[in-house]
Amino acid sequence: MTAPHSATDIGSEVAVPAAPEVDASAFRRIVDSLVQLVDDSSVPRNVRRGAQSAKDELSKPRVALDVRIASAVYVLDDLANDPNLPTHGRTAIWSIISSLESLQ
């Protein structure tokens, strides 16, 4: 079992984009939302793992930002179709996807 995540350890784990056209605070809010989803015990384990995978995709510093965002959206879109996902989890995923798409 991994240690719980907090908003304070986000900066050390995720490469915030250096491009001037990307709002770093919006990027951090998206990652924070993913962390909250990962830590939410009311969503199925496979969804929490998928949210962690999306967060990991966003944290690859040597990959272009648009590729990282597309990879994370792909993972999250697949999760949103899970029939066992509670309504609040699906809404959170859609919100994260929308925020990611607005960064592109």
Lowest mean pLDDT among 14-18, 71-75, 98-102: 14-18
Cα gap 82→93, rounded to integer Å: 11
Cα gap 98→61, rounded to integer Å: 22
Cα gap 65→59, rounded to integer Å: 10
pLDDT for the residue numbered 12: 46
Tokens 């309504």 found at: 87
- Average pLDDT estimate for 33-48: 94
- Average pLDDT estimate for 74-97: 94
Contact 61, 15 (CB under 8 A): yes
pTM listed for this prediction: 0.78
Phi–psi pair at 14, nearest 5 degrees: -110, 130
pLDDT for the residue numbered 1: 46
Topology adopted by domain 23-103:
de novo design (two linked rop proteins) (1.20.1440)
